[in-house]
Amino acid sequence: MRAFDKTPLAIVVATTLLLVGFFVFPAWLSLMVVTIIAKALVVVGVVVLMRSGLVSFGQGLYYCIGGYAVSLGEQVLQITDIFVLLALAMAAGLVAGSILGLLMSRYREIFFAMFSLALSMILYGILSRTQSLGSTDGLNIVQPTLFGIKLATQQAKLLIYFTTCVLAALVTYAVHRYIRSPLGYASMAVRDNEIRVEYLGLAPKKVFYSNYVIASVVAALGGAITALNYGHVQPDMAYWSQSGEFIFIALMGGTSHVAAAFLGSAVFETIRTYALELAPDAWRVILGGVLIAIICFLPKGLWSLTQFGKRSGSSDWDRVVDEKDST
């Protein structure tokens, strides 16, 4: 029997602390929090996919779609309401994800990774070639409104911050529940052995498909928040190195719990920005070194540090992608 699930409580506490934090944090920190959460949302999708054994090297595709949906929603459809924009971005992610998912759910392992990379690079190529969409210089995004009310800069910041935190909490809870649903457990099973799962009467394709769509929607949401936060979108959002960064964060955090994505993202962003500030000539060494060190010494990611002393093995909490399969 499973013990009392502490996750919802933890989410509520963490969200409340973050919301209060806005009034305490210096401005740059609030913005960094939004950046961290936006990226973490994409990583949540990466983690969902990883739990079924799929690693997407092209999550930037949906990140970019989300960002451009916001920008085009503003410029073409004249929408400025933050909630409509975010909904539009998620809808765009949903549509693209459900179409491409039909194709992508046929692929496994490194081929899934490379095919997803190819798709996102094609989007990058198309956007870079389209001058009406700002080419590689990208598009700017004006401040969002709330129910038709124009906001002062500081109010808009507050709105984006609060919306981000609350949405992240909802997504985290929803994905947490999903992971613990029968379909979520089936992900672990197909990762271990797809054929056996098929023999048991489950449809692995359905599992992959639903994971893929979920990952697309949250990635689009992350992209939309990034767009609102930076006020700018660029085709670089779909470039392979951006997608690589998401996997980097996912492995740093670990895949055993949804919240690990947020931990990973926070640590990554902090290291990156301070490495850039303190060692402008050697930030790559630092970032690369930390990544290798984490993989060597914390194979289950940073999240395993929070699990210190807990019983391991019997629950799914400690399962990670790099455990060896049994044949």
Range 172-231, binding other proteins (CB under 8 A)? 193-196, 230-231
Residues 50-89 that bind other proteins (CB under 8 A): 50, 55
Residues 285-324 that bind other proteins (CB under 8 A): 285, 287-289, 291-292, 295-296, 299, 321-322, 324
Opening angle at CA 58, ends 52 and 236, nearest 5:
150
First to last CA, the chain: 28
Q: With respect to other proteins, which residue has the nearer C-beta, 129 or 310?
A: 129
Residues 232-291 that bind other proteins (CB under 8 A): 232, 234, 236, 240-241, 244, 247-248, 251, 272-273, 276-277, 280-285, 287-289, 291
CB of 274 to other proteins, least distance (A): 9
CB of 299 to other proteins, least distance (A): 8
Among residues 32, 146, 158, 298, the one that binds other proteins under rule CB under 8 A:
32
| Under rule CB under 8 A, residue 140 binds other proteins | yes
Q: With respect to other proteins, which residue has the nearer C-beta, 277 or 311?
A: 277
Q: With respect to other proteins, which residue has the nearer C-beta, 78 or 327?
A: 327
Q: With respect to other proteins, which residue has the nearer C-beta, 21 or 244?
A: 244
Distance from C-alpha of 232 to C-alpha of 228, rounded to nearest angstrom: 7
Binding track over 107-136 against other proteins, x by CB under 8 A: xxxxx-xxx-xxx-xx-xxx-xx-x--xxx
Q: With respect to other proteins, which residue has the nearer C-beta, 157 or 176?
A: 157
CB of 312 to other proteins, least distance (A): 18
CB of 277 to other proteins, least distance (A): 7
Distance from C-alpha of 34 to C-alpha of 225, rounded to nearest angstrom: 8
**What's the sign of the alpha-carbon dihedral 41, 43, 49, 51?**
negative
Q: Which two tokens stand for residue 111?
A: 């081929």
Q: With respect to other proteins, which residue has the nearer C-beta, 106 or 310?
A: 106
269 Cβ contact list (under 8 Å, min separation 6): 32, 35, 36, 39
Among residues 2, 4, 24, 28, the one that binds other proteins under rule CB under 8 A:
28
Q: With respect to other proteins, which residue has the nearer C-beta, 120 or 169?
A: 120
Which of helix, strand or coil describes residue 275?
A: helix
| Under rule CB under 8 A, residue 158 binds other proteins | no
Count of residues engaged in binding other proteins, rule: CB under 8 A:
74
82 neighbors 145 (Cβ within 8 angstroms): yes
CB of 133 to other proteins, least distance (A): 11
Instruction: Report how far apart, in Å, the C-alpha atoms of 81 and of each of 87, 136, 138, 149, 189 are.
Output: 10, 26, 21, 8, 42
Q: With respect to other proteins, which residue has the nearer C-beta, 176 or 303?
A: 303
Kindly write down the DSSP assignment for every residue of 31-85, as one continuous string.
HHHHHHHHHHHHHHHHHHHHHTT---TTTHHHHHHHHHHHHHHHHTS---BHHHH
Question: Of 269, 252, 107, 259, which Cα lies nearest the Cα of 179?
Answer: 259
- CA dihedral in degrees (91, 247, 267, 92; nearest 10)? -10
